[in-house]
A = this chain, B = another copy of it.
């Protein structure tokens, strides 16, 4: 399963970076291969200063070895070995009218103290962070997510949409990071699904990513915008940074397992602002975005 999933994300990394290179037209993803001293490594592909993408990363990694102490406490387990692989991506477009997108699909194995597979699960999801709210974009993105989910279980979309709203929430700001999408974790085999069913579902979601995001990016990437729109985008990117550094378990997992710092923090936006107590005018487009983030909506 580990090899099968790694082969899948390698292929998906190729497809996604190729498609985004084509959309951008100016910059291209560059690859950095890295090794983890405790076991494993990854291939990070980063794009910067493109015509469309200001900064983005589409990274795969496969790490293994002894579960770090801090993670042992987290999983309430002793000294065991683990193996984890996945694809993580974040795309920060230059145009404030185009939303940032994040996605991650991952597979985790945990072994007993004899090295025998003791537990295995999939996790992942994809979510959209607009700076200006185009309701049709949020609806379209969620529809694509729902279509992929519905092929596997009628409750998946509803459940994983709710989990996404809960997870990507800036508790200290009392607002969502974006308009959500899907988030799922600990998808293990059970009486209804074997591990191959879980694989089929996660790869279905992975396969729908480009269909869900590219049409939105293409629609917004050339819209006109002002300096004020750009400032707003940079201020909102600050909230993105706050979420990733304060709340995100994925970032934390990467730092605790001594992943490659530059690959983990590629998610941080290129230009960011923090202004004191900045609040948009009531009724403005910026204000409408905040209202949508304060109260997660049903987009379908």
Contacts and interface: CB of A to CB of B under 8 A. Distances in A.
A32 B245 contact: no
A285 B274 CA distance: 27
Contacts of A246: 245-246, 255
A68 interface: no
Given A241-B241, A245-B246, A270 B274 contact: yes
B273 A271 contact: yes
Please classify how large the interface on chain A is, using the bins under 10, 10 to 19, 20 to 34, 35 or more: 20 to 34
Residue from A238, A266, A268 whose CB has the most chain B CB atoms within 10 Å: A268
A35 interface: no
A254 to B, nearest CB: 9
Contact of A32 (B55, B255, B272, B277): B277
Contacts of A242: 245, 265
Nearest to A47: B276
A274 B276 contact: no
A92 B48 CA distance: 27
A276 B57 contact: yes
A98 interface: no
A203 to B, nearest CB: 28
Contacts of A273: 270-272
A269 interface: yes
Interface in A75-89: none
Contact of A268 (B46, B57, B274): B274
A274 to B, nearest CB: 4
A34 to B, nearest CB: 10
A173 interface: yes
Nearest to A242: B245
A153 interface: no
Nearest to A255: B172
Contacts of A173: 261
A266 B262 contact: no
A47 to B, nearest CB: 9
Interface in A114-141: none
B261 A172 contact: yes
Contact of A275 (B270, B275, B277): B270
12 contacts: A46-B276, A46-B277, A55-B275, A172-B261, A245-B245, A262-B276, A262-B277, A268-B274, A270-B273, A270-B274, A271-B272, A272-B272
Interface of A: 32, 46, 48, 55, 57, 172-173, 234, 238, 241-242, 245-246, 255, 261-262, 265-266, 268-277
